[in-house]
């Protein structure tokens, strides 16, 4: 994978028939659905079948499982993700025929033309913050469009084309996609080294965020006041002001423009007082974790910059019920010694693991916190194995499986065993189960009543929780009994 550079854009209606490769992916599916809602002819495929691909088919989008050059018969534009290899048969055919080939980021940016765009970037928290802004703006009656990396739990949708001016997007920094977007309000949740396989060094990664914040369309930057990386950038932005660009900070820092006070986190709820523009507001969330109060504060600031009433934004924050794979309830099992609760979370960076487990710790009622982690990417595992181990030590018991390689080829000596060894060294009981198909049976042996089990990772670890619950005869969330 290489860093992307922005390309000239045209509105979607001028692209002709658009074909999406890897359409079943969490990021690509939302863009494909948004094009379909705009009335653009859409088709797509993915290497394997998935519920997402089938759902797009049910929406009327022509879809295939597997790749075949014949899929391009009536296509004018092909959209690819960073996961598509250069030798993909459809990509090769598109180039041979001279079709327009766009990266997903360009396809998304084209949707944003002519809108008041809020782009949410950051190493962590961007999915939830984007979702909160979309929900707040919807409750405020602004009829926003949005494209998010994970479906909203309330609707099951990750994208929507509204009739209003706001367009809210999750801005991916991993491959430089966020530099493509015509952003009016840039939200930066934090900056902590990641995706070094692409950026090379932590300093180059941070420089990417600075370039994003200083792009020509940006009128305001909303940025975390407590994260060191974000604050370094905020200081540089203030030292080199641009005409008309505003910097608004948020967090617990006394100097924050949107300040959190009187923080209370209990079980699956969180609340705080929010000071902004000389007023104190009451912020109440029905999603767990201290970190979500920060996300909500940033979302509130973005909403105010869009001109939306504070009271409506706060109602929207209270109405937000989360995203799929973000502290998502999977199910529960009544065991002889109490009820086992199972959750799933997309966390795949040490800081995200710490945030997820810290929130989960507050929801444990009399049992243990059990973490089942699947490392994502060989490069990230090699870089952060020790940090992953220390983060998992926030649980009472850790189960680690092998690396989900995604777009990467294996690296010699890099396996999930590195993380398991680091967790064990950090003082937590740890079990390494290399074969993920054995996880349900191993977890069934280890868990007890009153435990809270959380599966963690950006790969297919999400399948394990439901399999375990069914194996133990429990209730899977969303099923009927």
Taking CA 108 as the corner, what is the angle to CA 315 and CA 308, rounded to the nearest 5 degrees?
A: 25
Q: What is the Cα–Cα distance from 179 to 84, expressed in whole angstroms?
A: 20
Nearest by Cα to 77 from 37, 114, 46, 40:
40
DSSP class of residue 376 equals B
3-state DSSP call for residue 138? helix
Residue 251 labelled as part of a binding site: no
Is the CA virtual torsion 219, 225, 229, 231 positive or negative? positive
- Does residue 126 have an active-site annotation? yes
Which residue out of 127, 130, 381, 462 is catalytically annotated?
A: 127
Q: What is the Cα–Cα distance from 160 to 31, expressed in whole angstroms?
A: 9
- Does residue 429 have an active-site annotation? no
Residue 123 labelled as part of a binding site: yes
Residue 126 labelled as part of a binding site: yes
For residues 117 and 184, the answer to whether their CB atoms sit within 8 Å is yes
Other CB atoms within 10 Å distance of the CB of residue 93:
18
Other CB atoms within 10 Å distance of the CB of residue 255:
9
Partners of 64 in beta bridges: 45
3-state DSSP call for residue 148? coil
Which residue out of 52, 93, 126, 173 is catalytically annotated?
A: 126
Nearest by Cα to 368 from 468, 261, 451, 302:
451
Which residue out of 170, 352, 408, 442 is catalytically annotated?
A: 170
Nearest by Cα to 160 from 170, 139, 145:
145
Residue 155 labelled as part of a binding site: no
Residue 125 labelled as part of a binding site: yes
Residue 286 labelled as part of a binding site: no
Residue 149 labelled as part of a binding site: no
**Strand pairing of 246-251 and 220-224?**
parallel
- Does residue 436 have an active-site annotation? no
From the annotation, which residues make up the binding site for ATP? 122-128
Active-site annotation, residues: 126-127, 170
């Amino acid at each position: 994978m290489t860093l992307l550079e922005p390309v000239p854009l045209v509105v979607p209606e001028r692209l002709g028939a658009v074909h999406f490769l890897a359409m079943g992916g969490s990021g690509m599916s939302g863009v494909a659905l948004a094009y379909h809602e705009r009335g653009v002819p859409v088709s797509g495929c993915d290497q394997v079948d998935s519920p997402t691909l089938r759902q797009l088919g049910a929406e009327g989008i022509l879809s295939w499982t597997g790749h075949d050059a014949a899929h391009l018969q009536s296509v004018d534009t092909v959209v690819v993700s960073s996961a598509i290899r250069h030798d993909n048969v459809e990509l090769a055919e598109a180039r041979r025929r001279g079709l327009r080939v766009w990266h997903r980021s360009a396809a998304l940016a084209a949707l944003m033309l002519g809108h008041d765009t809020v782009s949410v970037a950051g190493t962590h928290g961007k999915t939830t913050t984007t979702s909160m802004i979309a929900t707040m703006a919807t409750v405020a009656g602004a009829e926003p469009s949005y494209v998010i990396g994970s479906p909203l739990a309330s609707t099951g949708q990750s994208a929507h084309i509204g009739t209003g001016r706001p367009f809210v997007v999750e801005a991916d920094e991993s491959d430089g996609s966020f530099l493509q977007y015509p952003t009016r309000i840039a939200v930066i949740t934090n900056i902590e080294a990641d995706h070094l396989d692409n950026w090379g060094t932590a300093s180059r990664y941070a420089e990417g965020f600075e370039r994003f914040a200083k792009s020509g369309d940006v009128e305001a930057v909303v940025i975390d006041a407590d994260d060191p990386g974000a604050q370094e950038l905020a200081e540089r932005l203030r030292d080199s002001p641009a005409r008309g660009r505003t910097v608004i900070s948020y967090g617990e820092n006394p100097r924050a423009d949107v300040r959190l006070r009187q923080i209370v986190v209990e079980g699956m709820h969180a609340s705080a007082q929010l000071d902004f523009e000389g007023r104190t507001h009451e912020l109440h969330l029905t999603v767990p974790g201290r970190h979500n109060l920060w996300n909500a504060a940033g979302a509130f600031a973005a909403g105010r910059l869009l001109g939306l009433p504070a009271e409506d934004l706060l109602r929207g924050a209270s109405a937000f019920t989360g995203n799929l794979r973000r502290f998502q309830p999977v199910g529960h099992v009544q065991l002889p010694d109490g009820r086992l609760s199972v959750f799933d979370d997309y966390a795949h960076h040490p800081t995200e693991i710490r945030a997820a487990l810290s929130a989960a710790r507050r929801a444990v009622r009399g049992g243990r916190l059990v973490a089942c982690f699947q490392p994502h990417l060989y490069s990230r595992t090699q870089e952060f194995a020790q940090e992953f181990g220390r983060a998992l030590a926030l649980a009472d018991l850790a189960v680690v499986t092998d690396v989900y390689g995604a777009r990467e080829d294996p690296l010699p000596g890099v396996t999930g065993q590195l993380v398991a060894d680091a967790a064990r060294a950090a003082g937590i009981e740890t079990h390494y189960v290399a074969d993920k198909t054995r996880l349900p049976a191993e977890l069934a042996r280890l868990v007890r009543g009153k435990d809270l089990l959380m599966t963690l990772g950006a790969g297919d670890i999400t399948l394990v929780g439901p399999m375990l619950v069914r194996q133990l005869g429990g209730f899977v969330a969303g099923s009927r009994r």
